[in-house]
Structures are given as structure tokens and as C-alpha cells.
């Protein structure tokens, strides 16, 4: 019995190889799509959990603030002043957090400064290498 690959021409063998490579690439792309879809679904669930946690945290902050106001009122302060003190303290904390967040988001702090320096250094080395030749 003869081997069927011995009877094939080079063109047929090359065509078969390209078909196999093409099928392999399609399968890998399909696998990547499925994996990305699965990962996006997991990320969506995670974002939902984080959003839910933030809502619960805000509710708990309201309860704790009310408890603090009640404690200050029981300590002898007028309820209005207790509420004002707690509100101002929380507002100051929020302003400090926003200021820090905005400062961290400035473009200068987001720019890849180390990468930029490395690229400049590499470009200089290439120039020097070219000039030496």
C-alpha cells in the first residue's frame, strides 16, 4: 500500500499546510474570543459587587454619622451643632480625598516618565553608534 503523501505534488502539500495553519489560527482566535468573553463576564460581576459594596458603605457612613451626631448631642451639644460638626469634618475629609485624587490624575503624574527617559537614552545611544561608524 502506498503512502498518499508521496503521490501529492508540492503545491498540494503546501496548500494542505496553509489550510491547516489557517484552521489553527481560526481556532486560536475563537478560543481567545471565548476567553475574553468569559473574562469580561467575570469583570462585570466584580464591578457589580464593588458598586453594591459602595452603596452599602455609603449607607453605613450615614448611620455612623447619625450615631456620632447622637453621641455628641448626648454629650451635651445642641443637635444642630452636633450635625454641623460631623458634617464639616466629613466634608473636609472628602475635600482632602478629592484634592489628592485630582493631584494624582494630573497628566504629568500619569506620563510614563521612566519609559520616556529610556527611549531618549536609547535614541542617543543609536545616534552615537551611527556617528562612530
Q: Average of pLDDT values for 50-78?
A: 96
pLDDT score of 3 more than 70: no
64 and 94 both lie in a single domain: no
Q: Considering 27, 52, 75, which residue would you say is the last residue of a domain?
A: 75
71 and 15 both lie in a single domain: yes
- Range name among 61-70, 95-104, 110-119 with the lowest pLDDT average: 110-119
CB burial of 104-114 (b: ≥16 within 10 Å; e: otherwise) equals eeeeeeeeeee
- How far apart are the C-alpha atoms of 68 and 62, rounded to whole Å? 10
pLDDT score of 6 more than 80: no
101 and 51 both lie in a single domain: no
Is 19 domain-assigned? yes
Q: Considering 55, 75, 95, which residue would you say is the last residue of a domain?
A: 75
Which residue range(s) make up the domain with 25?
Answer: 8-75
The CA-based dihedral angle spanning residues 121, 127, 132, 133, taken in that order and rounded to the nearest 10 degrees: 130
Is 104 domain-assigned? yes
64 and 90 both lie in a single domain: no
Domain tally, the chain: 2
Query: Please, where are the H alpha helices in the chain?
Result: 10-74, 79-104, 107-110, 113-132
Is 2 domain-assigned? no
Amino acid at each position: 500500500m502506498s503512502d498518499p503523501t508521496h503521490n501529492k505534488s508540492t503545491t498540494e502539500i503546501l496548500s494542505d499546510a496553509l489550510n491547516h495553519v489557517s484552521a489553527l489560527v481560526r481556532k486560536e482566535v475563537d478560543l481567545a474570543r471565548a476567553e475574553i468573553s468569559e473574562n469580561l463576564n467575570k469583570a462585570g460581576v466584580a464591578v457589580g459587587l464593588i458598586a453594591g459594596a459602595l452603596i452599602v458603605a455609603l449607607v453605613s457612613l450615614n448611620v455612623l454619622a447619625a450615631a456620632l451626631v447622637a453621641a455628641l448631642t448626648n454629650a451635651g451639644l445642641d443637635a444642630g451643632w452636633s450635625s454641623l460638626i460631623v458634617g464639616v469634618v466629613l466634608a473636609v475629609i472628602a475635600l482632602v480625598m478629592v484634592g489628592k485624587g485630582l493631584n494624582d490624575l494630573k497628566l504629568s503624574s500619569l506620563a510614563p516618565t521612566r519609559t520616556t527617559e529610556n527611549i531618549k537614552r536609547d535614541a542617543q545611544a543609536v545616534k552615537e553608534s551611527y556617528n562612530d561608524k
